[in-house]
Copies of this chain bind each other. A is one copy, B any other.
Amino acid sequence: MPERVRIAVDAMGGDLGPRVNVEGAVAAVSRDSALEVILVGDKAEIERRLAAVPAAERASLSVQPASQVVEMAEVPVQAVRSKPDNSMSVGMRLVRDGKADGFVTAGNTGAALAAALFELGRIEGIRRPALATLMPGVSGSYLLLDIGANADCRPQDLVQFALMGHVYAKRVLGIASPRIGLVSNGEEESKGNELTKEAHILLRGSGLNFVGNVEGKDLPNGLADVVVTDGFTGNVMIKTSEGVASMILEILKRQIARSWRAKLGGLLLRPTLKAAVAHLDYTEVGGAPLLGVRGVVLVGHGRSNAKAIASLISAGARVARQGLVAAIADGLKENASIGNQVA
Protein backbone atom coordinates (compact mmCIF):
# COMPACT_ATOMS: atom_id res chain seq x y z
CA MET A 1 0.00 0.00 0.00
CA PRO A 2 1.44 3.41 -0.97
CA GLU A 3 2.44 5.90 1.68
CA ARG A 4 -0.20 8.44 2.77
CA VAL A 5 0.40 11.75 0.96
CA ARG A 6 -1.32 15.15 0.74
CA ILE A 7 -1.14 17.19 -2.47
CA ALA A 8 -2.37 20.79 -2.70
CA VAL A 9 -3.83 21.66 -6.12
CA ASP A 10 -4.21 25.13 -7.59
CA ALA A 11 -7.95 24.89 -8.31
CA MET A 12 -7.83 28.20 -10.24
CA GLY A 13 -4.85 27.27 -12.48
CA GLY A 14 -4.83 26.68 -16.21
CA ASP A 15 -6.85 27.87 -19.18
CA LEU A 16 -9.88 25.75 -18.28
CA GLY A 17 -10.25 26.84 -14.66
CA PRO A 18 -11.78 25.16 -11.58
CA ARG A 19 -13.91 22.58 -13.42
CA VAL A 20 -10.97 20.56 -14.79
CA ASN A 21 -8.96 20.94 -11.58
CA VAL A 22 -11.80 19.56 -9.44
CA GLU A 23 -12.56 16.76 -11.92
CA GLY A 24 -8.87 15.90 -12.11
CA ALA A 25 -8.62 15.78 -8.31
CA VAL A 26 -11.62 13.43 -8.10
CA ALA A 27 -10.04 11.12 -10.71
CA ALA A 28 -6.68 11.17 -8.90
CA VAL A 29 -8.05 10.24 -5.45
CA SER A 30 -10.34 7.57 -6.94
CA ARG A 31 -7.29 5.63 -8.16
CA ASP A 32 -4.98 6.21 -5.18
CA SER A 33 -6.53 5.38 -1.80
CA ALA A 34 -3.59 6.83 0.13
CA LEU A 35 -3.85 10.22 -1.59
CA GLU A 36 -5.52 13.28 -0.09
CA VAL A 37 -6.05 16.38 -2.25
CA ILE A 38 -6.44 19.93 -0.96
CA LEU A 39 -8.15 22.17 -3.53
CA VAL A 40 -6.89 25.75 -3.19
CA GLY A 41 -8.97 28.66 -4.51
CA ASP A 42 -12.47 30.16 -4.60
CA LYS A 43 -14.18 28.28 -1.75
CA ALA A 44 -17.78 28.76 -2.90
CA GLU A 45 -17.06 27.68 -6.47
CA ILE A 46 -15.00 24.64 -5.46
CA GLU A 47 -17.64 23.46 -2.96
CA ARG A 48 -20.38 23.89 -5.54
CA ARG A 49 -18.42 21.64 -7.90
CA LEU A 50 -17.76 19.13 -5.10
CA ALA A 51 -21.47 18.80 -4.23
CA ALA A 52 -22.08 15.97 -6.70
CA VAL A 53 -18.88 14.03 -5.89
CA PRO A 54 -19.49 10.54 -4.39
CA ALA A 55 -18.78 10.23 -0.67
CA ALA A 56 -15.81 7.84 -1.14
CA GLU A 57 -13.87 10.41 -3.16
CA ARG A 58 -15.26 13.42 -1.25
CA ALA A 59 -13.67 12.08 1.94
CA SER A 60 -10.20 12.47 0.39
CA LEU A 61 -10.82 16.04 -0.81
CA SER A 62 -10.68 19.24 1.20
CA VAL A 63 -10.77 22.95 0.37
CA GLN A 64 -8.33 25.71 1.29
CA PRO A 65 -9.77 29.16 0.52
CA ALA A 66 -7.72 31.65 -1.53
CA SER A 67 -9.39 34.86 -2.65
CA GLN A 68 -7.06 35.90 -5.49
CA VAL A 69 -5.90 34.44 -8.81
CA VAL A 70 -2.77 35.04 -10.90
CA GLU A 71 -3.89 35.21 -14.53
CA MET A 72 -1.91 33.52 -17.34
CA ALA A 73 -0.92 36.85 -18.94
CA GLU A 74 0.22 38.63 -15.77
CA VAL A 75 3.84 39.59 -15.11
CA PRO A 76 4.86 36.86 -12.62
CA VAL A 77 6.83 38.55 -9.83
CA GLN A 78 4.55 41.60 -9.83
CA ALA A 79 1.38 39.49 -9.75
CA VAL A 80 2.59 37.28 -6.91
CA ARG A 81 3.72 40.32 -4.86
CA SER A 82 0.54 42.33 -5.38
CA LYS A 83 -1.83 39.42 -4.68
CA PRO A 84 -0.67 37.82 -1.42
CA ASP A 85 -3.81 35.64 -1.17
CA ASN A 86 -3.46 34.14 -4.66
CA SER A 87 -4.11 30.39 -4.95
CA MET A 88 -0.48 29.56 -5.79
CA SER A 89 1.07 31.36 -2.84
CA VAL A 90 -1.59 29.95 -0.49
CA GLY A 91 -0.92 26.42 -1.78
CA MET A 92 2.85 26.79 -1.42
CA ARG A 93 2.37 28.00 2.18
CA LEU A 94 0.54 24.75 2.95
CA VAL A 95 3.71 22.96 1.80
CA ARG A 96 5.96 25.32 3.74
CA ASP A 97 3.90 24.81 6.92
CA GLY A 98 3.88 21.02 6.60
CA LYS A 99 0.14 20.89 5.85
CA ALA A 100 0.70 19.48 2.36
CA ASP A 101 3.47 17.27 0.91
CA GLY A 102 3.46 18.92 -2.49
CA PHE A 103 1.76 21.53 -4.69
CA VAL A 104 0.74 21.28 -8.34
CA THR A 105 -0.60 23.94 -10.71
CA ALA A 106 -1.51 24.33 -14.38
CA GLY A 107 -1.23 28.10 -14.00
CA ASN A 108 1.30 30.75 -15.03
CA THR A 109 4.74 29.05 -14.90
CA GLY A 110 6.65 32.21 -14.08
CA ALA A 111 4.28 32.96 -11.20
CA ALA A 112 4.69 29.42 -9.84
CA LEU A 113 8.45 29.92 -9.88
CA ALA A 114 8.19 33.32 -8.18
CA ALA A 115 5.73 32.06 -5.54
CA ALA A 116 7.95 29.03 -4.84
CA LEU A 117 10.99 31.25 -4.33
CA PHE A 118 9.06 33.58 -2.00
CA GLU A 119 7.17 30.99 0.03
CA LEU A 120 9.47 27.94 0.01
CA GLY A 121 12.90 29.33 -0.78
CA ARG A 122 15.80 27.41 -2.24
CA ILE A 123 17.40 24.24 -0.95
CA GLU A 124 20.60 25.24 0.85
CA GLY A 125 23.46 25.26 -1.65
CA ILE A 126 21.28 25.61 -4.75
CA ARG A 127 21.75 28.93 -6.55
CA ARG A 128 19.02 28.58 -9.17
CA PRO A 129 16.01 26.25 -9.10
CA ALA A 130 15.26 24.75 -12.51
CA LEU A 131 12.17 23.54 -14.32
CA ALA A 132 12.46 20.03 -15.76
CA THR A 133 10.30 18.02 -18.14
CA LEU A 134 10.20 14.51 -19.54
CA MET A 135 10.77 14.64 -23.30
CA PRO A 136 9.50 11.75 -25.41
CA GLY A 137 11.98 9.61 -27.32
CA VAL A 138 11.56 6.70 -29.71
CA SER A 139 11.52 4.05 -26.99
CA GLY A 140 11.84 5.93 -23.73
CA SER A 141 11.97 9.46 -22.44
CA TYR A 142 14.62 11.71 -21.01
CA LEU A 143 14.55 14.49 -18.43
CA LEU A 144 15.41 17.92 -19.88
CA LEU A 145 16.28 20.87 -17.65
CA ASP A 146 16.23 23.86 -17.39
CA ILE A 147 13.28 24.53 -19.70
CA GLY A 148 12.65 28.12 -18.72
CA ALA A 149 13.27 29.12 -15.11
CA ASN A 150 16.65 30.77 -15.84
CA ALA A 151 17.23 32.50 -19.18
CA ASP A 152 20.85 33.27 -18.26
CA CYS A 153 22.97 30.70 -16.46
CA ARG A 154 26.51 30.24 -15.21
CA PRO A 155 28.46 27.02 -15.88
CA GLN A 156 28.07 26.04 -12.19
CA ASP A 157 24.29 26.29 -12.52
CA LEU A 158 24.33 23.63 -15.24
CA VAL A 159 26.29 21.34 -12.90
CA GLN A 160 23.66 21.86 -10.20
CA PHE A 161 20.93 21.12 -12.74
CA ALA A 162 22.79 17.89 -13.55
CA LEU A 163 22.89 16.91 -9.88
CA MET A 164 19.19 17.66 -9.37
CA GLY A 165 18.32 15.76 -12.54
CA HIS A 166 20.49 12.87 -11.38
CA VAL A 167 18.60 12.68 -8.06
CA TYR A 168 15.22 12.94 -9.81
CA ALA A 169 16.07 10.26 -12.35
CA LYS A 170 17.34 7.94 -9.63
CA ARG A 171 14.54 8.47 -7.11
CA VAL A 172 11.47 9.13 -9.26
CA LEU A 173 12.34 7.37 -12.52
CA GLY A 174 14.22 4.50 -10.87
CA ILE A 175 17.37 4.72 -13.02
CA ALA A 176 20.33 3.31 -11.07
CA SER A 177 23.10 5.42 -12.65
CA PRO A 178 21.50 8.15 -14.77
CA ARG A 179 23.56 9.19 -17.80
CA ILE A 180 23.95 12.98 -17.91
CA GLY A 181 24.26 14.80 -21.26
CA LEU A 182 25.05 18.45 -22.00
CA VAL A 183 23.24 20.12 -24.92
CA SER A 184 25.76 21.47 -27.42
CA ASN A 185 26.21 22.30 -31.09
CA GLY A 186 28.42 19.27 -31.67
CA GLU A 187 29.42 16.09 -29.87
CA GLU A 188 33.13 16.90 -29.71
CA GLU A 189 34.40 18.28 -26.42
CA SER A 190 35.72 21.34 -28.30
CA LYS A 191 32.21 22.30 -29.45
CA GLY A 192 29.96 24.68 -27.57
CA ASN A 193 29.61 28.27 -26.49
CA GLU A 194 31.53 29.78 -23.59
CA LEU A 195 28.88 28.58 -21.13
CA THR A 196 28.83 24.95 -22.24
CA LYS A 197 32.59 24.63 -22.74
CA GLU A 198 33.14 25.58 -19.12
CA ALA A 199 30.22 23.47 -17.92
CA HIS A 200 31.66 20.49 -19.85
CA ILE A 201 34.90 20.68 -17.87
CA LEU A 202 33.05 21.00 -14.55
CA LEU A 203 30.75 18.08 -15.38
CA ARG A 204 33.74 15.88 -16.27
CA GLY A 205 35.02 16.43 -12.76
CA SER A 206 31.65 16.27 -11.00
CA GLY A 207 31.55 12.58 -10.15
CA LEU A 208 28.24 12.26 -12.00
CA ASN A 209 27.84 9.78 -14.88
CA PHE A 210 28.56 12.44 -17.53
CA VAL A 211 28.36 11.10 -21.09
CA GLY A 212 29.44 14.35 -22.78
CA ASN A 213 27.90 16.73 -25.27
CA VAL A 214 24.65 15.68 -26.91
CA GLU A 215 22.83 17.06 -29.94
CA GLY A 216 19.09 17.43 -30.48
CA LYS A 217 19.14 15.09 -33.46
CA ASP A 218 20.30 12.19 -31.29
CA LEU A 219 18.30 12.84 -28.12
CA PRO A 220 15.15 10.89 -29.12
CA ASN A 221 17.34 7.80 -29.49
CA GLY A 222 18.04 7.59 -25.77
CA LEU A 223 21.66 8.76 -25.53
CA ALA A 224 21.16 10.22 -22.07
CA ASP A 225 18.66 10.01 -19.20
CA VAL A 226 19.15 13.59 -18.00
CA VAL A 227 19.97 16.43 -20.39
CA VAL A 228 21.07 19.81 -19.05
CA THR A 229 21.03 23.22 -20.70
CA ASP A 230 20.31 26.85 -19.82
CA GLY A 231 16.65 27.85 -19.53
CA PHE A 232 16.68 29.88 -22.75
CA THR A 233 18.01 27.03 -24.91
CA GLY A 234 15.83 24.45 -23.12
CA ASN A 235 12.74 26.53 -23.70
CA VAL A 236 13.62 26.99 -27.38
CA MET A 237 14.13 23.20 -27.63
CA ILE A 238 10.72 22.25 -26.25
CA LYS A 239 8.94 24.88 -28.35
CA THR A 240 10.83 23.93 -31.51
CA SER A 241 9.88 20.28 -30.88
CA GLU A 242 6.25 21.28 -30.42
CA GLY A 243 6.35 23.31 -33.65
CA VAL A 244 7.90 20.53 -35.74
CA ALA A 245 5.50 17.89 -34.40
CA SER A 246 2.44 20.06 -35.16
CA MET A 247 3.82 20.88 -38.60
CA ILE A 248 4.36 17.24 -39.54
CA LEU A 249 0.83 16.28 -38.42
CA GLU A 250 -0.62 19.24 -40.34
CA ILE A 251 1.33 18.32 -43.51
CA LEU A 252 0.17 14.69 -43.19
CA LYS A 253 -3.44 15.82 -42.75
CA ARG A 254 -3.24 18.03 -45.84
CA GLN A 255 -1.59 15.31 -47.91
CA ILE A 256 -4.19 12.76 -46.81
CA ALA A 257 -7.02 15.05 -47.92
CA ARG A 258 -5.62 15.13 -51.46
CA SER A 259 -6.68 11.77 -52.86
CA TRP A 260 -9.23 8.99 -52.27
CA ARG A 261 -6.46 6.46 -51.91
CA ALA A 262 -4.82 8.54 -49.22
CA LYS A 263 -8.15 9.18 -47.52
CA LEU A 264 -8.80 5.44 -47.29
CA GLY A 265 -5.26 4.86 -46.05
CA GLY A 266 -5.74 7.61 -43.47
CA LEU A 267 -8.97 5.99 -42.27
CA LEU A 268 -7.28 2.62 -41.81
CA LEU A 269 -4.35 4.29 -40.08
CA ARG A 270 -6.47 6.41 -37.74
CA PRO A 271 -5.84 4.30 -34.59
CA THR A 272 -2.15 4.13 -35.50
CA LEU A 273 -1.85 7.89 -35.89
CA LYS A 274 -3.73 8.35 -32.62
CA ALA A 275 -1.28 6.02 -30.85
CA ALA A 276 1.65 7.92 -32.35
CA VAL A 277 0.20 11.23 -31.19
CA ALA A 278 -0.43 9.78 -27.71
CA HIS A 279 3.24 8.80 -27.61
CA LEU A 280 4.13 12.46 -28.02
CA ASP A 281 1.37 13.70 -25.73
CA TYR A 282 2.62 15.67 -22.79
CA THR A 283 -0.74 15.36 -20.98
CA GLU A 284 0.10 11.68 -20.37
CA VAL A 285 3.40 12.49 -18.76
CA GLY A 286 2.41 14.47 -15.69
CA GLY A 287 4.04 17.83 -15.23
CA ALA A 288 7.27 19.75 -15.06
CA PRO A 289 8.91 19.45 -11.63
CA LEU A 290 10.48 22.61 -10.25
CA LEU A 291 13.74 21.33 -8.77
CA GLY A 292 15.80 23.10 -6.14
CA VAL A 293 13.07 24.70 -4.00
CA ARG A 294 12.26 23.50 -0.48
CA GLY A 295 9.13 21.62 -1.37
CA VAL A 296 7.60 19.50 -4.11
CA VAL A 297 6.19 21.74 -6.87
CA LEU A 298 5.03 20.56 -10.30
CA VAL A 299 3.75 22.77 -13.11
CA GLY A 300 1.35 21.40 -15.72
CA HIS A 301 0.52 22.68 -19.20
CA GLY A 302 -1.84 25.67 -19.30
CA ARG A 303 -4.10 23.76 -21.69
CA SER A 304 -4.44 20.80 -19.27
CA ASN A 305 -7.80 18.99 -19.28
CA ALA A 306 -9.14 16.94 -16.33
CA LYS A 307 -7.13 13.89 -17.41
CA ALA A 308 -3.92 15.94 -17.52
CA ILE A 309 -4.67 17.41 -14.08
CA ALA A 310 -5.19 13.90 -12.67
CA SER A 311 -1.77 12.86 -14.12
CA LEU A 312 -0.22 16.00 -12.68
CA ILE A 313 -1.59 15.25 -9.19
CA SER A 314 -0.46 11.60 -9.38
CA ALA A 315 2.99 12.72 -10.49
CA GLY A 316 3.11 15.15 -7.55
CA ALA A 317 2.19 12.31 -5.17
CA ARG A 318 4.91 10.09 -6.67
CA VAL A 319 7.58 12.79 -6.32
CA ALA A 320 6.51 13.59 -2.74
CA ARG A 321 6.61 9.89 -1.75
CA GLN A 322 10.18 9.62 -3.04
CA GLY A 323 11.39 12.32 -0.66
CA LEU A 324 12.91 14.30 -3.50
CA VAL A 325 13.71 17.51 -1.63
CA ALA A 326 15.68 15.75 1.10
CA ALA A 327 17.43 13.63 -1.53
CA ILE A 328 18.61 16.71 -3.45
CA ALA A 329 19.87 18.30 -0.21
CA ASP A 330 21.69 15.06 0.64
CA GLY A 331 23.13 14.87 -2.90
CA LEU A 332 24.59 18.35 -2.46
CA LYS A 333 26.16 17.43 0.87
CA GLU A 334 27.66 14.22 -0.53
CA ASN A 335 29.09 16.05 -3.49
CA ALA A 336 30.58 19.06 -1.78
CA SER A 337 32.19 20.47 -4.92
CA ILE A 338 28.79 20.93 -6.57
CA GLY A 339 27.33 22.59 -3.49
CA ASN A 340 30.37 24.75 -2.87
CA GLN A 341 30.31 26.16 -6.37
CA VAL A 342 27.42 28.31 -5.21
CA ALA A 343 29.67 30.40 -2.99
Contact = CB atoms under 8 A, between A and B. Distances in A.
Interface SS of A by simple majority: helix
Contacts of A183: 236
A314 to B, nearest CB: 24
A244 interface: yes
A82 interface: no
A217 B240 contact: yes
A152 B248 contact: no
Contacts of A176: none
B262 A247 contact: no
A51 to B, nearest CB: 39
A255 B152 CA distance: 40
A216 B236 contact: yes
8 contacts: A151-B192, A151-B194, A152-B194, A192-B232, A241-B241, A244-B244, A251-B279, A265-B272
A138 to B, nearest CB: 5
Nearest to A196: B232
B185 A236 contact: yes
Contact of A244 (B231, B241, B262, B273): B241
- State the number of copies, please: 2
A75 interface: yes
Interface size class of A (residues with CB under 8 A): 35 or more
B269 A262 contact: yes
A78 B151 CA distance: 34
Contacts of A4: none
A232 B266 contact: no
A233 interface: yes
Interface in A190-244: 190-194, 196, 215-221, 229-233, 235-237, 239-244
Q: Which 8 A-B pairs have the closest CB atoms?
A: A265-B268, A216-B240, A265-B269, A220-B247, A185-B235, A216-B239, A151-B193, A217-B243
A48 interface: no
Nearest to A263: B268
